[in-house]
Amino acid sequence: MTPFPVAREPGARPGAFAWLLLAPLLVWLALFVVVPALLLLGCSFGERDEFGQVLWGFSLENYARLLDPVYLRIFLRSLGFAALTTVLCLLIGYPVAYHLARAAPRVRELLLLLVLVPFWTSFLVRTYAWMAILREEGLLNALVAWLQPAWAPLGLLYTPAAVVTGLVYSYLPFLILPVYASVEKLDGALIEAAHDLGAGPWRVFPAVILPLTLPGIAAGVTLVFVPAVAMFAVTDLLGGARVPLIGNVIQNQFLQARDWPFGAALGVALLGLFLVSQMLLRALRPRGALRG
Amino acid sequence: MSARIELEGVGKRYGAVTAVREVHLTIAGGEFLTLLGPSGCGKTTLLRMIAGFEAPTAGRIRLGGEDITGVPPHRRPVNQVFQGYALFPHLSVRGNVAFGLRMRGVGQAEIGQRVDEALALVALQGLGERFPHELSGGQRQRVAVARAVVCRPQVLLLDEPFSALDAKLRQSMRAELQALQRRLGMTFVLVTHDQDEALALSDRIAVVNAGALEQVGSPREIYHRPATAFVAEFVGHANLIPVERTSGTADRATVRLAGTLELDLPAERWPAGRSATRAVVRPEQVVLRPWRGAAPDALRGRVTAAEFRGDRELLQIALGDGGGLTLTAVQPGGDGDTADFAVGAEVAVALPAANLWFLPSG
Amino acid sequence: MQFKIPSFPGRLAALLLALLPVATRGAGELNLFGWSEYVPQPVLEGFTRETGIKVNFETYSSNEEMLAKLVAGGGRYDLVQPSDYTAEAMIRRKLLQPLDRARLTGLGNLAPEFTGRAHDPEGRYTVPYMSGSVGIVVNTEKVKTPVRGYRDVFQAAHRNRIVVVNDSRELVSWALYALGQPINTIDAASLARVRPLLAEWIKLVKVFDSDSPKTALLNGDVDLGVVWSGEAALLWREHRKFQYILPAEGAHQFVDVLAIPTGARNVTEAHRFIDYILRPEVSRQISAAFPYTNPNLAARRLLTPDELANPASYPQGGKLESFRDIGRAAADIDRLVTDLKSAK
């Protein structure tokens, strides 16, 4: 027996040593993922007292309240906003990621850096920067006024369009990076093979490139869609908090309405939604593309 | 269904680096031609220019008399079996084979029929619904071949098609490919660095070195009458022995091998216009006898190493008075437990004039 | 509820901190839990310089947030800064401990109208910190029609030119005022009454912002609004075109107080801090940074005439009223406003 049983049959059960290596991750997951999720679940069955404290118990009332048309409508609207954000991120991000991955190494490094640079500053600062751009006396309106004074000022800030702009801006890198990774892994010989077999430049994409980068797209879409559904800061700052999304409603339950159990139920519902959609996505994935 | 390819002064330069220099080559319709050479010699670039993936920086490429130099790959009636096969992992075997037909807008019914035919051709009936990762290496190669030939190209290009297979499988796949080529009568252009492959499969071999053609000829020509030292050494094992012409008449020539052994041979076997060159003798053409004293037709040598290979035995022989020359010789493996020529034994090395080939150059 | 600064990361961080056990806090320290943008940094530094007591300052952006963390954190805070109606509820729930008034030498500096109020009639638990109101601010260069009350603000003519604080209870109370209803009686019937009016109003609003409602006004994205008086005072300081008006129908006045939670570990230090705040020259510093209404009369005497003339800090007249604790009805209000906002 070697002290480091590294090479194992794929699918073999990990030995004691492997468990030891995994332990920090497992502890971390248990402490910061499993325990909070269970707390949330437990809380969602509770009730609030007059003062807003959680009374633990078992009641389905909070879940019954989810069916209130007020919250259902907000749920649907949040999904719509997130879906629009995801589609726009995909339309903008995919070509960027594709050309990034196919660029010459030095250019690629530089461009990749540019994609990542915004992460160096706080998300909030970047959102405030958008306010400075979109507001009535802001940069964009100054430009519009200079080009065509009759159009100015455009009421851009505090509109749903501003919210979507902010969401797309914030989450674009989360789409670009996984798509970039999958395009980079794409074997150039496959594209040549497609050309060789008679596929012109426009047909190679749907026939070969798109299906083979599907895992990257799926990862990117998940990374954009999931946080976009629950986002509340952008709706507040760029949307003027006019149209509440599900993230705002949840935030309100915890910080304004002092109704933690209901907030927890909303959170659990959101979590359930993501789990179901992930399982669907998994089930729908084509057999051959699983590899790669 | 098979067309002639003409390369007219085809060259490729990348900036200051010349990958291929002015290649003139005509490949006949239905011919099996192999581009053979070491890695980096430019043979793959040559193939990629025929396929259309690289544009030549000089010269023209014609296919069936038609200039295809500027035609993009998807419009050339040429298909390729890629190194590593480049099968589409997201498509089943049928999907892979049907790909080229779909791209060309062939009708569904015809696609079905032609895919069935192609799969039958490579003996893959019944595996159509598998995915590439569920196939063995040999099966993958067959899919790659079927995928390419189903389009009925005028030329099939094969880029190191056997390199992903283990030695045993390589042998049987080779035979299969050759049979297939005979049956289809299609022009095949194979790229390989493996001389065995080239010798076994080709109608003609073009040996490529440093971006240029060293020699083009049938496998026998290439092996027995190499044009250059490079070809002699790259294809099979060659003993190169310095030789000079000492005298002779119009009919006969007298030459001296390794400075000692005098041989008499017909003058037409000596390359015209040269006073000295090198003689090529293949290991199996070296004749060994136990040393029984000096003989006029033999050099004196000593066995320095022996390598038993089962059916034969490889011997290294240091020539006693040959200016430090070492020859490689092959002997039958024998049927006993003891070698005919043990390490350290003195041997008489006979080099019959009929077994020698004199390099016309290099 | 006053200046609520961009709060999301802060809130998250605080939320995580609240879940962690406190191990390192000892004597010579004060764990202060106060509103963001409400306690000037120089005041904290001055206190530490003078007493040697290290101040651990954490902030919150709503009374509800403070309560949630206080209840969850159990004894980690020595001094909190609730609004009057929250303090009232906390006293009722025994979340605050009585003060040792003998240790607070500066109590005499306070104006009488800020002591003995309904939330703490005997002044046993709380000491006023700052006060303010929620009123109308108008950019008089853009809005030429007279604005006197809520109904003047929420006019079709001002559609998409209005900013209001993003606070459901405030919104409901304005509608109650406009209908002549009591603002501290909230039940299904009163909510049903305000619903149609509020539905109209919410459609007209461009920005809901509790953290910094002045920003939209300063940037010219809106022309008028209903905001915290401190925000209005800062606007007035910036430009005199921003006028503050106490709504004729009545306005919410809040008094934010200092109080010591039950179970606080550094009670002595907490008292010393309260007493430090009561000093006129310290209190004056707070007014300079955050121009709310200062309840400290001795401090007010140190203010410049310009500061005293700020109509948002020291409004004239007006019908002012405190919020009272409404308990469970907070959730009903939240649902109503969420419903109306999302109905757009």
Q: Both ends of chain A: CA-CA distance in Å?
A: 33
- Looking at per-residue pLDDT, the higher value among C13 and B113 belongs to B113
Number of domains in chain B: 2
Q: Which helix (H) or strand (E) holds C289?
A: helix C280-289
pLDDT of residue C11: 46
> Residue C188 and residue A93: Cα distance in Å, rounded?
49
Q: State the average pLDDT over residues B138-142.
A: 94
Give the tens place of pLDDT for each residue, C111-123.
999 999 999 999 9
* Three-state DSSP state, A223: helix
Average pLDDT over residues A3-26: 70
The closest of B338, B235, B250 to B282, measured between CA atoms, is B235
Q: Does B147 touch chain A (CB under 8 A)?
A: yes
pLDDT at C1: 36
Residue B178's H or E segment, with its range, is helix B167-184
**Chain A residues lying within 8 Å of B114, measured CB to CB:** none
Q: What's the domain count of chain A? A: 1
3-state SS of C74-88 is CCCCCEECCEHHHHH
Mean of pLDDT values over C172-192: 95
Q: Give the distance from residue A233's alpha carbon to the nearest chain C alpha carbon, in angstroms.
A: 7
Q: Is the confidence at residue C24, as pLDDT, over 50?
A: no
Q: What is the pLDDT of residues A38-51, one digit of tens each?
A: 999 999 999 887 66
Would you give the DSSP letter of residue B156? Answer: E
**Average pLDDT of chain A to the nearest whole number:** 87
Q: Assign B341 a pLDDT band (cuts: 50, 70, 90).
A: confident
pLDDT of residue C9: 43
Q: How confident is the model at residue A289 (pLDDT cuts 50, 70, 90)?
A: very low
Task: Express each pLDDT in A193-247 by its tens digit.
Answer: 999 999 999 999 999 999 999 999 999 999 999 999 988 888 888 988 888 899 9
Residue C163: its chain A contacts at CB < 8 A? 240
Its CATH class, for the domain covering C8-131+255-309, is alpha beta
Share of chain B above pLDDT 70, in %: 97
Report chain B residues whose CB lies below 8 A from the CB of A218: none
Mean pLDDT of A253-274: 88
Q: Average pLDDT for residues B2-26, to the nearest whole number?
A: 94
Read off the pLDDT of residues B268-307 as tens digits, 9 standing for 90 and up: 999 988 889 999 999 999 999 998 888 888 888 999 999 8
- Quote the pLDDT of residue B336: 66
Domain ranges of chain C: 8-131+255-309, 132-252+317-342
Asked whether the beta carbons of residue B86 and residue A199 sit closer than 8 angstroms, the reply is no
- Together in a domain, B74 and B138: yes
Nearest-CA distance from B129 to chain A in Å? 11
Residues 6+ apart with CB under 8 A from C146: C152
Query: Which pLDDT score is estimated for B328?
Result: 94
- Whether residue C271 contacts residue C45, with contact meaning beta carbons closer than 8 Å, is answered with no
- What is the average pLDDT across B175-198? 93
> What three-state secondary structure class fits A167?
helix
**pLDDT recorded at residue A3:** 43
C20 pLDDT above the threshold of 50 = no
Report B:101-120 residues touching A (Cβ under 8 A): 102-104
At A172, which CATH number? Answer: 1.10.3720.10
* Residue B73 sits in the same domain as residue B173: yes
Task: Looking at the structure, tell me whether residues B241 and B338 fall in a common domain.
Answer: yes
**What per-residue confidence (pLDDT) applies to C343?**
81
Touching subunits of B (3+ CB pairs, under 8 Å) are: A
Record: contact A242-C328, CB cut-off 8 A: no
Nearest by CB: B151 against A189, A197, A203? A197
Residue B221 is which amino acid? E
Q: Tell how strand B298-308 and strand C162-164 pair up.
A: unpaired
Are residues B37 and B70 located together in one domain of the fold?
yes
Q: What is the pLDDT of residues B32-73, one digit of tens each?
A: 999 999 999 999 999 999 999 999 999 999 999 999 999 999
Q: Is the pLDDT of residue A154 over 90?
A: no
User: Which residues in chain A touch residue C1, judged by CB atoms under 8 angstroms apart?
Assistant: none
Q: What angle do CA C41, C47, C49 make, to 5 degrees?
A: 100
- pLDDT attached to residue B293: 85
Q: What is the pLDDT of residues B63-105, one digit of tens each?
A: 999 999 999 999 999 999 999 999 999 999 999 999 999 999 9
Backbone φ and ψ of B256, nearest 5°: -120, 120
Averaged pLDDT of chain C: 89
Cis before A153? omega within 30: yes
On the question of pLDDT at C4 being above 50, the answer is no
A-B interface (Cβ pairs under 8 Å ≥ 3): yes
Terminal Cα distance for chain B, rounded: 40
- Nearest Cα of chain B lies from the Cα of A190 at a distance, in angstroms, of 5
Phi-psi region of B26 (alpha: psi -120 to 50; beta: other; left: phi over 0): beta
The 10s digit of each residue's pLDDT in C277-316 is 999 999 999 999 999 999 999 999 999 999 999 999 999 8
Q: B169 with B125, same domain?
A: yes
Give the up-direction half-sphere exposure of residue C66: CA atoms within 13 A in the CB hemisphere: 29
Q: Does B358 touch chain A (CB under 8 A)?
A: no
Average pLDDT score over chain B: 92
* Structural domain of B298: 237-358
Residue C5, pLDDT above cutoff 80 = no
B20 strand-pairing partners: B12
Q: What is the pLDDT of residue A259?
A: 85
pLDDT of A284 over the 80 cut: no
d(CA C83, CA C323): 9
Distance CA A124, CA A160 (A): 18
Reported CATH class of domain C132-252+317-342: alpha beta
Domain with A167, as residue range(s), is 40-290
DSSP assignment of C87-114: HHHHHHTT-B----GGG-TTGGGB-GGG
Chain A, 66 to 125: residues with Cβ < 8 Å from chain B are none
Whole-number pLDDT of residue C12: 42
Tell me the C-alpha to C-alpha distance, in Å, between residue A248 and each of A78, A258, B33, C152, C344. 10, 14, 71, 29, 16
Contact B300, B348 (CB under 8 A): yes
Nearest residue on chain C to A73, alpha-carbon basis:
C342
Q: Are A160 and A149 in contact (CB under 8 A)?
A: no
**A267 interfacial to chain C (CB closer than 8 Å):** no
Which pLDDT band, with edges at 50, 70 and 90, does C86 fall under? very high
The pLDDT of residue C344 is 58
Interface check for A1 against chain C (CB to CB < 8 A): the answer is no
Structure tokens at A105: 């190494």
pLDDT for position A288: 52
pLDDT in tens, C163-181: 999 989 999 999 999 999 9
Q: How many CB pairs under 8 A join A and C?
A: 112
Inter-chain CB proximity C67 and A258 less than 8 Å = yes
Residue corresponding to tokens 């502890």: A27
* Segment 14-73 of chain B within 8 Å of chain A by CB: 51-53, 72-73
CATH number of the domain that residue B37 is part of: 3.40.50.300
The CA-atom distances, in angstroms, between B3 and each of B144, B178, B189, B238 are 21, 18, 12, 36
Does residue A5 surpass a pLDDT of 70? no
pLDDT of C19 > 60? The answer is: no
Q: In percent, how much of chain A has pLDDT > 90?
A: 54
CATH at residue B270? 2.40.50.100
3-state secondary structure B101-155: HHHCCCCHHHHHHHHHHHHHHCCCCCCCCCCHHHCCHHHHHHHHHHHHHCCCCCE
| Alpha-carbon separation of residue B147 from A9, A198, B96 (angstroms) | 33, 12, 6
Task: Give the single-character DSSP code of B251.
Answer: S
A10: in domain: no
Look at B80 and A193 and tell me if their CB atoms are within 8 Å.
Answer: yes
**Model confidence band, residue B321 (pLDDT cutoffs 50, 70, 90):** low
Judgement on whether residues B146 and B16 belong to the same structural domain of the protein: yes
> What is the pLDDT, as a whole number, of residue C121?
94
Facing residue for A197 by CB, picked from B84, B89, B100: B100
Q: Do chains A and C touch (3 or more CB pairs under 8 A)?
A: yes
